Structure formats: C-alpha cells, structure tokens
Amino acid sequence: MVELSLSNVEIAVSAQLRISAEFPQVYEAPGGLYPMRAKTFELAEYRMKAGWPVPIPGHDIFSRTMVSGDGAQFSHRDNPATIRTGATTRWIAEGFNYDTLAWNALQDNTQGVQWYSSAEYAPVLVTDYTYRLGGEVFVASALNFDSDNQNHMWTDLSTSYGGASGYTVIMVVSPNSVYGNDPTVAYNGLWCPGMPSPGTPTFSETPPDHFASVTMQGYYLYYEDELKERTRTVSIANGLSVNAPVYIALVISRPDITFYSGMGPSSITVKHIPAGGTDPVPLDGHITLGRTPGDVLHTADMALFDLGLYGRPLSATEVQTEFSLLSQSYGGVVQ
C-alpha cells in the first residue's frame, strides 16, 4: 500500500489583448473621382538660348553631338543612297522613297516593282536608328516591323520576275523590333508566298504550285517549299544579341538552296540544303515581307535597312562582294 500526499497547486494565467480596426477595402470612391480643376496647355515650339526659351529662328541648325570616354565617334560612311549594288531592284529605308503605304525602289531595272501595305499593317520608318560597331556609332534609317502591330508588306513580282526559276534576296536587317520582340510568337514570317492581307487575323490562302518560304524561329532561319518540309538553315544568333544589322542572303533555286548570314563580309556563315524538287520551275511571284501565309499572327519583329532582289542565283563570291558594298554604309568592315 502506497500513500500519496498532494501539495497545493497554483495556476497563474495572464493575457494580453491588442485591438485594431480593419476597414473594408474601397476600390472606387463613391460617385467616382473628379478633378477639382484641370487645365491643358499646348506650347508652341521653341529653342533654348542662355537657359531661356526663345522663338524658332528663321534658319535653324541641327548638330548631333556625342561625348565618349573610350574614343567612340559617329560614323562618316557613305550614304546608302549613293551606293549602287548589282541588284536588279533595290529598296532602302529612306523618307524620300517610303510614303507609309508604298515602298519605292532606289534601283530598278524592271517594270517598277513596289512594296505595298495598308494603314493597319504598315511598318514605321525610324529615322534615328542608332547602333554601335567597334568604335563607330551609326545613326541610320530603318523600316521597323513589329509583331504586336502585325506590320508587313506585299508585292507581285510576276510581271518583272515571272517564270524565274531562281533568284537571290539580300537584306541588311536587325532581327529585332525597335519596340522589343514578342517571345510568345513561336515563329515569324520573313519572305513567304502570299497575297494582300484582307484585314482579318486569319484567312484562307491557297499555297501556289511552286513557292519558297523563309521564316525566323529562335536563332535560325527556316526554309520550306511545296515539296520540302520546314527545315532549319543558317544561324542569325549574332544579329539577335545586338541591335546592329546583320547581312542575310537567300539564294533560292532548284535543286539547291543556299543561305548566307554575317555581321560583315569577313564573317559569313553558309548553309546549303536541297530543295524539295530537282527540276527548275517558275516560282510564284506573290510575296509577303514579314508575315506567314494565311494569318497575321506570325508577323516579323525586325528593323529592315536595305533590301536587294537579284534576278538570278548569286555565287558565294558575288554574295561576298555585295556584302562588302553594303558594309561601306552599314558597317562591318574597317574603312
């Protein structure tokens, strides 16, 4: 037998209470918010002189200046309009030959080929596109294509290049929009078959009997025709990482396709692939610049400086020569 004797048990309890008020969230003020007083002022153009605004003088002088700590300077290369390449038809991004809805050729040995667009889809002319190559800073003009705005153009080469079994396209282009690229677009049209766009996001567009289609996806250009499935070709990775333009040549013929890409004539990457067919065939002349067939959901993000169309396939030496001529204006070689 065990006897237990319990001692007295004491329990001490303390509590603290903090009170705060939680007011209901008000997402919109009752009756809405209205300004007590609002004024709008539209100022006339002016110039600054000695820290004060003054009227615009009768003769105004504009001077672009730059201060560099590492010796960079503005480029003093030839204007693109003064250079004559071997292109059959050539377009440059300048205000004197671009009126928003039509892009006129600088060089033209054909029936007057033009690129067209609409008020809804027209690319924007940027006159102060700035990029740097080495110690040179370039300020150039470019046609900016932006996928958010579905910018693209179209043309008909049938009358001028009708029945051609092969041709060459040379572009000076940055594969980046001035306003930024849309990463949600899986691929973008570059040089594809197509008619004028009807103004709807998607539409029926029957592929022609014989065509060549070039698109951009990731770091590469892709080629496709009526017999060949979409195939990866040359890399454009160097152009995607900077805002300086890259030189691209599309030599489209049968039975071989050759693509060239480089930041200049001394750094060219080449890719040869077989076409879908082996026999020369007349390629369809209805071309869209910057969109894929049947929709405007895969339009291009790019800034286009120069576009040359040659009525025959160029050799590797001829492509390098054309790149050298163009680089006198757009950079990529030492003067």
For 77, the 3-state DSSP assignment is coil
**Exposure b/e, 90-112, CB count within 10 A at least 16 = b:** bbbbbeeebeeeebbbbbbeeee
Is 45 a domain residue?
A: no
Distance CA 118, CA 299 (A): 14
Is 292 a domain residue?
A: yes
Our count of domains for the chain comes to 1
* Burial class of residue 201, CB neighbours in 10 A (0-12, 13-18, 19+): exposed
Q: What is the pLDDT of residues 246-301, one digit of tens each?
A: 999 999 988 899 999 999 998 899 999 999 877 878 888 899 999 999 999 999 99
Is 165 a domain residue?
A: yes
| Predicted confidence band of residue 334 (pLDDT cuts 50, 70, 90) | very low
Distance CA 117, CA 153 (A): 5
pLDDT of residue 33: 65
Is 31 a domain residue?
A: no
CATH number, residue 265: 2.60.120.200
Q: What is the pLDDT of residues 132-183, one digit of tens each?
A: 988 889 999 999 999 999 999 999 988 777 656 689 999 999 999 999 999 9
Is 149 a domain residue?
A: yes
Tokens 């579905």 correspond to 150
Structural domain span for residue 148: 87-330
Q: What is the pLDDT of residues 73-119, one digit of tens each?
A: 778 888 999 999 999 999 999 988 898 789 999 998 887 789 999 99
Angle among Cα 124, 125, 128 to the nearest 5 degrees reads 125
Is 41 a domain residue?
A: no
Task: Give 232's contacts (C-beta < 8 A, 6+ positions apart).
Answer: 220, 221, 222
Is 80 a domain residue?
A: no
Question: What does DSSP say about strands 302-310 and 167-174: parallel, antiparallel, or unpaired?
Answer: antiparallel
Is 15 a domain residue?
A: no
Confirm whether pTM is higher than 0.85.
no
Phi/psi of residue 324, nearest 5 degrees: -65, -40
pLDDT of residue 335: 45
